[in-house]
Structure 1
Amino acid sequence: MLIPSSQQVDIFSDDQRQLHFAELCNALYERELASLSQQKFNNISLLQRKLGGLKHHIKRAADNLLQKESPLQIDIHNASWQGKQAAKCMADKADADKTEQWFIDNIQIGRCIAIHVDTLGAEHIELDSVDRIDLGQGKLHANKFGWFAVDGKFLEETIRQPDILALKLLKPNKAILTAACCGHNWNHKGKSQPRALSLRELLLSLSIDWKTYK
């Protein structure tokens, strides 16, 4: 079931609100437990901490999905954002000078950012967050991917995930953030099957101000 953003306020005033909330929670639990089952944990306490915080994070995500003002629609059954996908990934249109100026003017710790991820045979845009800033050196650190110059260039000597070929920090706009929030994927033929966002990415998407793209 898709819910337009303009109707989300009404959800809280009718009897379907609890049903929608429950469906979102179920979809998120299924996705996160499937993801955790595929991960390798050398430390059992780490798995225990992740499981222990799951209930809180899932309820927060489901609740905020129903309240968030966004140009995107919500797919209740899959707990995902839905929006029109561009025929091609727009990351190759990035202007380094404009990217640099935007981040110099707007960057701050905790801000949600968009990163172009080029993998073997596919590409997508992924949400990350800023956890360190060094404007003296003209760079910022993304929580998952590492250091980037504020003009978008990836600065690490190696990429932490072996299947990734290249990374680029992008200046946010509606098209970039729509692609990231909806999990849009592209391959050499064009559009491909969207990927499911992790719970972390979904929570990051809920922090976006769609009027300023911050």
Structure 2
Amino acid sequence: MSDQQPDQTNIFNLAEQFPNVAELCNALYERELVSLATSNIKDPTLLKRKLSGLTYHIKNAAEFLINEPTPIDVDVHNGTWKSKQSNKCPAAKPATSDDEIAKAEKWFKQHHYHGAVVCIYVNDYGNEHIELDSIDMIPTPANKLHTNKYGWFALNGESLEASKTHVTHRLVKPNKAILSAACSGHTWNTKGKSTPRALSLRELLLSTNINWKTFK
């Protein structure tokens, strides 16, 4: 019991400072526990490590969502970001002209660094969404980059991973519309807008590292 007191004290102090934080934390806990319960994690040590770090990560995520100024809103009832959804996925159209490709490559050459948050366009048989990932490897010379979840990409956005499925992935140059859609979990299908997906805790934490001033 004594091992939990520091975390509990932090949560209580946070609740005094931000009245909505308890509701937000409950939503995050509920969603993450369901995610862990239905995950494919077979290693009990890994599961124990994830559970033991849950309070720390949720407290940090909740504090950021409530306290930090961003151009998108927070839904405290569901523990999510929310923003107006466009009729079509803003990342669906790839860079095709030489000028567009050059601009994308230039942007990633200037802004790549270890831990940087990036956006991945995901298309699964016409079901589209934009997912937050992070850079974890950059070779020398920096002619490509590696993301934590989706692997290697060329700087023009093309995936360099051999795909064994029908799902396609593309690294996209971020802007405010793309980042807002990714943070809000917007999804689309062949008919248009579809029900937003809930971000994983990992993605939610990545969203707290976005420098929105760069994309105003």
User: 1:177 aligned to 2:179?
Assistant: yes
The structure with the largest alpha-carbon Rg is: 2
Which position in structure 1 is the counterpart of 2:150? 145
Match of 1:102, as an amino acid? W
Percent identity (aligned): 52
Alpha-carbon shift at residue 17 of structure 1 (Å): 4.6
User: 1:66 aligned to 2:103?
Assistant: no
Partners in 2 of 1:128 and 1:137 — Cα distance? 18
Secondary structure of the residue aligned to 1:211 is helix
Pairing partner for 2:128 from 123, 148, 167: 123
Which position in structure 1 is the counterpart of 2:210? 208
User: 1:20 aligned to 2:20?
Assistant: yes
Which position in structure 1 is the counterpart of 2:3? none
Aligned length: 197
Q: What is the TM-score normalised by the length of structure 2?
A: 0.86
**Residues 89/169 of structure 1: CA separation in 2 closer, same or farther (3 Å cut):** same
Partners in 1 of 2:41 and 2:81 — Cα distance? 30
Which position in structure 1 is the counterpart of 2:105? 100
Pairing partner for 2:193 from 188, 191, 194: 191
Match of 1:193, as an amino acid? T
Partners in 2 of 1:190 and 1:17 — Cα distance? 41
Alpha-carbon shift at residue 121 of structure 1 (Å): 3.8
**Residues 107/213 of structure 1: CA separation in 2 closer, same or farther (3 Å cut):** farther
Partners in 1 of 2:29 and 2:186 — Cα distance? 22
Q: What is the TM-score normalised by the length of structure 1?
A: 0.87
Quote the RMSD (CA, aligned, Å).
Answer: 1.8
Contact conserved, 1:104 with 1:135, CA < 8 A, in 2? no
Contact conserved, 1:89 with 1:186, CA < 8 A, in 2? yes
Match of 1:207, as an amino acid? N
Higher mean C-alpha deviation, range 140-149 or range 18-27: 18-27
| Structure 2: gaps of 5 or more residues | 1-14, 96-100
Alpha-carbon shift at residue 165 of structure 1 (Å): 1.3
Which position in structure 2 is the counterpart of 1:114? 119
**What are the superposed Cα offsets for residues 6-29 of structure 1, whole Å, 9 maximum, x if unpaired?**
xxxxxxxxx985431101110000
